[in-house]
């Protein structure tokens, strides 16, 4: 399902004409998601060079919808239906359809105009209606949904279209080996190239839909390209004309250019008809999508935890997307596994967790479903969704316009090593995401354009490649009083093998002297850790401490490294000698760790690494946004700000791995007497359990509101106002 992609660092992207400054300012300064100290995050995006092929593509962008205005309870209703099925829509009843959704408390839905098979589900003179469909399904859906007051966007499949691939083989995307990309069953769907006359066909079909149907917006799926570039005749000719080679860097540029040209044409088409209409392009939601944001009305984060994405994916990605100045919708699925999983129904507790976790991270909720070909929604599915959506609805008064707060900004390693695979989370990102969640820290994920100043601590994990711009940004952040945690080879210049900033307090000597080293913590700096050598499962770096840098932990070396010639026992060679060579140093508010500790946490799961980072954060961030000393690491806590109100969410849904690639949540966990300390300069007037709206006793001491939640069964929110 996922394709590995090698793409160049952003610094080599070409200079493209700037979008008109006042226009970008209008888009980016819209106070959407402008949380405390975060309104400025979008500003640097104003200077982003825009990546469109022709100046003509740079038309005006109408203003975005009112902030916070999107519906909270959405459904994405898949309907990819083979022409071999002969009774499409035969059991569809418009009133029943809308009533099922209404009764499940759904207030927005994406329904199908055109599917991956290429069939249309509406009356059309341009596209091809599904041969078995006897009526205007889209039209009946839209009218019934409108009557129930449910927002309706139409779904349209872009790159995957079986029908057009058969009719126009010349429009197919071509890989470097000259073969068309994608075959049904072994590689999902045939891919079309959006740089062919197919785009004109797409635009004509969408114009017809927008002219004839009273929808609220368009939802465009599968806007992606072969990672190694497309070798169709149109792409070859255009790259030649633009002077772009077939190198990874140039194909990345060309892919981006083609994708943003599609976005521009469809965005303008929808907005010409619907000035505030929803426009979303799926398959583009990666670290580095920031420059495409002016062509999106909002962001949707497709992340089905049991369908190949895993539970870490949403946690990493949402913490980036929510900083981009757009409303965000989290999308899971009702499936046991992934899309198209007929007869696979997710556990109620898992659905509850996934949706409540969206709210706990300041984003809206969407559940993916697939309609049976005959057109009847499944009653059990909507009963289950209804249970969850009633919980969501009850919490909405404390979620509307709420912004997640964060002390810590962590740069994604994809910021300097971009990857267009939407499902993929780099190992280092997975490591810091899980570690910080388990430590109950509040954090956002950054790219190179993110502002550092809103954060008390910035982390550059393991492999952040330096540039002059990044070094200068880090230096001015430190000069302004920020704290920094750097690990392994982050900020290490590949050519000179020197660190890009002097404030780090260490000099690079080379790779660690042994592959299998031990971490020797100095007790006064890590009083909560047992005093014993801890193995470093991944090899790190060798550094010397510069003057002014304090050594917090040192290396222990093995007798020898394990090899064919010399080995001892089953695994790593035991500790041979203790050394004074630093593994962890601190100089003022800058900490350096000479090991890929975040990637290693994802690979090795050794809790000691989390304890080490936890202790270091205690030094750099003595007063975090929230302290929950009795909360287990498997529980989550998030802090949101809703105007003057603080809303804290505690989630406890333990998951266990019960299949090789699937983590299962079967029931909510129970916690009692949970102590919460929430940083607040002034004592709030009232604390209450929400949505119960029941007053909760609290006290205010040392800048924290302190309370105890009597009972958490899966989820409990607390409001301080």
Q: Among 61, 110, 195, 206, which residue interacts with Zn ion (rule: CB under 5 A)?
A: 195
Q: How far is the CB of 69 from Zn ion (least distance, A)?
A: 37
Q: How far is the CB of 58 from Zn ion (least distance, A)?
A: 23
Q: How far is the CB of 501 from Zn ion (least distance, A)?
A: 42
Q: How far is the CB of 10 from Zn ion (least distance, A)?
A: 23
User: In the structure encoding, which two tokens stand for residue 387, read together?
Assistant: 């249970």
Q: Among 52, 106, 137, 193, which residue interacts with Zn ion (rule: CB under 5 A)?
A: 193
Nearest to Zn ion of 210, 232 (CB atom): 232
Q: How far is the CB of 479 from Zn ion (least distance, A)?
A: 48
Distances, alpha carbon 259 to alpha carbons 176, 254, 284, in Å:
19, 9, 9
Place of tokens 């800058």: 590
Distances, alpha carbon 163 to alpha carbons 78, 202, 353, in Å:
18, 13, 38
Angle at 405 between CA 24 and CA 435, to 5 degrees: 110
Q: Is 177 helix (H, G, I), strand (E, B) or coil?
A: coil
Helix H or strand E encompassing 255: helix 248-273
d(CA 81, CA 77): 12
d(CA 199, CA 17): 23
584 binds Zn ion (CB under 5 A): no
Which of these, 129, 112, 113, 130, lies nearest to 76 by C-alpha position? 112
Contacts of 702 (CB under 8 A, 6+ apart): none
Which of these, 376, 378, 382, lies nearest to 87 by C-alpha position? 376
Count Cβ atoms within 10 A of the Cβ of residue 510 and give its class: 0-12 exposed, 13-18 middle, 19 or more buried.
exposed
Q: How far is the CB of 56 from Zn ion (least distance, A)?
A: 20
Q: Among 52, 64, 230, 445, which residue interacts with Zn ion (rule: CB under 5 A)?
A: 230
Of 63-71, 193-201, 565-573, 684-692, the segment contacting Zn ion by CB under 5 A is 193-201
Helix H or strand E encompassing 269: helix 248-273
Q: Among 115, 215, 235, 501, which residue interacts with Zn ion (rule: CB under 5 A)?
A: 235
Distances, alpha carbon 581 to alpha carbons 115, 510, 520, 591, in Å:
60, 13, 10, 15
Q: How far is the CB of 423 from Zn ion (least distance, A)?
A: 23
DSSP alpha helix (H) spans, 69-197:
94-103, 137-147, 162-167
Q: Among 162, 232, 428, 491, which residue interacts with Zn ion (rule: CB under 5 A)?
A: 232
CA torsion sign for 88, 89, 90, 91 is positive
Q: How far is the CB of 192 from Zn ion (least distance, A)?
A: 9
Beta strands in 282-417 (DSSP E): 299-302, 328-333, 364-370, 403-404, 408-411
417 binds Zn ion (CB under 5 A): no
Q: How far is the CB of 197 from Zn ion (least distance, A)?
A: 11
DSSP 538: S
Of 176-184, 224-232, 526-534, 591-599, the segment contacting Zn ion by CB under 5 A is 224-232
Of 184-192, 226-234, 342-350, 625-633, the segment contacting Zn ion by CB under 5 A is 226-234
| Total residues interacting with Zn ion, rule: CB under 5 A | 5
Nearest to Zn ion of 266, 590 (CB atom): 266
DSSP alpha helix (H) spans, 226-247:
233-242
d(CA 201, CA 603): 46
Distance from CA of residue 97 to its chain's centroid? Answer: 32
181 binds Zn ion (CB under 5 A): no
Q: Of residues 422-461, which lie at the interface with Zn ion (CB under 5 A)?
A: none
d(CA 171, CA 174): 9
Q: How far is the CB of 244 from Zn ion (least distance, A)?
A: 13
Of 147-155, 160-168, 229-237, 338-346, the segment contacting Zn ion by CB under 5 A is 229-237
Of 223-231, 294-302, 391-399, 633-641, the segment contacting Zn ion by CB under 5 A is 223-231
User: In the structure encoding, which two tokens stand for residue 274, read together?
Assistant: 């619907």
223 binds Zn ion (CB under 5 A): no
User: In the structure encoding, which two tokens stand for residue 326, read together?
Assistant: 């757009």
* Rg from Cα positions in the chain: 26
Of 235-243, 445-453, 495-503, 590-598, the segment contacting Zn ion by CB under 5 A is 235-243
Of 130-138, 233-241, 620-628, 652-660, the segment contacting Zn ion by CB under 5 A is 233-241
164 binds Zn ion (CB under 5 A): no
Q: Report how far apart the first and last C-alpha atoms of the chain are (Å, whole number).
A: 46
Place of tokens 């042994």: 514
Q: Of residues 340-379, which lie at the interface with Zn ion (CB under 5 A)?
A: none
Q: How far is the CB of 264 from Zn ion (least distance, A)?
A: 17
Q: How far is the CB of 309 from Zn ion (least distance, A)?
A: 28
Nearest to Zn ion of 171, 534 (CB atom): 171
Place of tokens 């810590």: 408
Nearest to Zn ion of 236, 427 (CB atom): 236
Q: How many alpha carbons lie under 13 Å from residue 89 in its C-beta half-sphere?
A: 19
Contacts of 658 (CB under 8 A, 6+ apart): 664
Q: How far is the CB of 225 from Zn ion (least distance, A)?
A: 8
Q: How far is the CB of 174 from Zn ion (least distance, A)?
A: 7
Of 157-165, 179-187, 190-198, 360-368, the segment contacting Zn ion by CB under 5 A is 190-198
Nearest to Zn ion of 132, 203 (CB atom): 203
Distance from CA of residue 17 to its chain's centroid? Answer: 29
Nearest to Zn ion of 145, 193 (CB atom): 193
Nearest to Zn ion of 232, 406 (CB atom): 232
Of 234-242, 381-389, 421-429, 516-524, the segment contacting Zn ion by CB under 5 A is 234-242
Q: How far is the CB of 2 from Zn ion (least distance, A)?
A: 21
517 binds Zn ion (CB under 5 A): no
Nearest to Zn ion of 255, 450 (CB atom): 255
244 binds Zn ion (CB under 5 A): no
Nearest to Zn ion of 237, 272 (CB atom): 237
- What are the backbone angles phi and psi of residue 171, rounded to the nearest 5°? -90, 0
Nearest to Zn ion of 132, 175 (CB atom): 175
Nearest to Zn ion of 128, 175 (CB atom): 175
β-partners of residue 281 are 220
Residues at the contact surface with Zn ion, assessed by CB under 5 A: 193, 195, 230, 232, 235
């Amino acid at each position: 399902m996922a394709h590995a992609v090698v793409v160049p660092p952003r610094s080599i992207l070409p200079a493209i004409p700037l979008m008109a400054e006042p226009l970008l300012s209008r888009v980016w300064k819209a106070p959407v998601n402008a949380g405390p100290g975060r309104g400025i995050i979008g500003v640097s995006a104003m200077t982003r060079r825009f990546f469109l092929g022709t100046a003509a593509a740079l038309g005006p962008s109408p203003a975005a919808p009112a902030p916070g205005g999107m519906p909270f309870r959405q459904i994405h209703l898949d309907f990819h239906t083979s022409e071999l099925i002969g009774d499409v829509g035969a059991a569809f009843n418009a009133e029943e359809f809308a009533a099922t959704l209404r009764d499940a408390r759904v207030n927005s839905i994406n329904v199908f105009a055109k599917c991956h098979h290429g069939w249309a589900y509406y009356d059309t003179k341009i596209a091809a209606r599904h041969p078995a469909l006897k009526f205007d399904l889209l039209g009946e859906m839209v009218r019934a949904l409108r009557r129930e007051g449910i927002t309706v966007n139409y779904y349209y499949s872009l790159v995957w279209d079986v029908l057009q691939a058969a009719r126009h083989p010349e429009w197919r995307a071509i890989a470097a080996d000259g073969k068309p990309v994608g075959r049904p069953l072994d590689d999902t769907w045939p891919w079309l190239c959006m740089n062919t006359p197919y785009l004109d066909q797409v635009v004509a079909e969408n114009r017809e839909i927008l002219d004839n149907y009273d929808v609220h917006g368009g939802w465009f799926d599968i806007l992606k390209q072969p990672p190694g570039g497309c070798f169709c005749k149109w792409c070859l000719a255009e790259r030649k004309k633009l002077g772009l080679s077939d190198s990874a860097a140039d194909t990345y540029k060309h892919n981006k250019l083609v994708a943003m040209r599609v976005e521009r044409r469809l965005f303008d088409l929808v907005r010409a008809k619907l000035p505030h209409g929803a426009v979303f392009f799926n398959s583009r939601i990666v670290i580095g999508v920031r420059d495409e944001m002016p062509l999106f009305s909002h962001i949707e984060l497709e992340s089905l935890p049991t369908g190949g994405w895993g539970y870490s994916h949403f946690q990493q990605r949402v913490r980036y997307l929510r900083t981009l100045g757009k409303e965000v919708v989290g999308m899971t699925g009702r499936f046991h596994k992934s899309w198209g999983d007929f007869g696979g129904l997710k556990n109620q507790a898992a659905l509850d967790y996934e949706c409540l976790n969206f709210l706990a991270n300041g984003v809206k909720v969407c559940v993916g479903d697939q309609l049976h070909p005959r057109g009847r929604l499944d009653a059990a599915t909507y009963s289950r969704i209804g249970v969850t959506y009633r919980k969501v609805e009850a919490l909405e008064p404390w979620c509307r316009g709420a912004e997640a707060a964060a002390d810590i900004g962590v740069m994604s390693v994809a910021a300097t090593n971009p990857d267009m695979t939407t499902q993929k989370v780099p190992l280092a990102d997975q490591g810091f995401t899980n570690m910080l969640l388990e430590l109950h820290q509040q954090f956002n994920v950054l790219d190179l354009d993110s502002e550092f100043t809103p954060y008390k601590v910035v982390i550059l994990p393991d492999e952040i490649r330096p540039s002059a711009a990044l070094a200068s940004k880090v230096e001015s952040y430190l000069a302004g009083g920020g704290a920094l945690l750097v690990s392994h080879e982050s900020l290490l210049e590949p050519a000179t093998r020197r660190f890009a900033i002097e404030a780090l307090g260490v000099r690079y000597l080379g790779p660690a002297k042994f592959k299998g080293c031990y971490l020797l913590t100095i007790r006064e700096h890590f009083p909560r850790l047992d005093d014993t050598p801890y193995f470093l499962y991944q090899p790190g770096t060798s550094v010397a401490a510069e003057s002014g840098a304090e050594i917090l932990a040192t290396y222990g070396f093995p007798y020898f490294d394990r090899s064919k010639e010399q080995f001892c026992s089953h695994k790593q060679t035991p500790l041979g000698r203790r050394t004074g060579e630093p593994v962890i140093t601190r100089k003022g508010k800058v900490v350096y760790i000479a090991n890929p500790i975040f990637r290693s946490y994802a690979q090795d799961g050794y809790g000691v690494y989390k304890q080490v980072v936890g202790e270091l954060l205690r030094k750099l961030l003595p007063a975090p946004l929230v302290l929950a000393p009795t909360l287990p690491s498997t529980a989550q806590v998030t802090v949101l700000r809703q105007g003057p109100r603080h809303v804290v969410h505690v989630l406890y849904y333990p998951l266990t791995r019960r299949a090789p690639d699937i983590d299962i949540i079967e029931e909510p966990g129970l916690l009692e007497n949970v102590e919460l300390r929430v940083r607040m300069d002034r004592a709030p007037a009232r604390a209450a359990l929400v949505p119960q709206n029941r007053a909760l006793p609290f006290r205010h001491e040392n800048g924290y509101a302190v309370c105890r939640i009597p009972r958490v069964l899966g989820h409990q929110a607390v409001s301080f106002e």
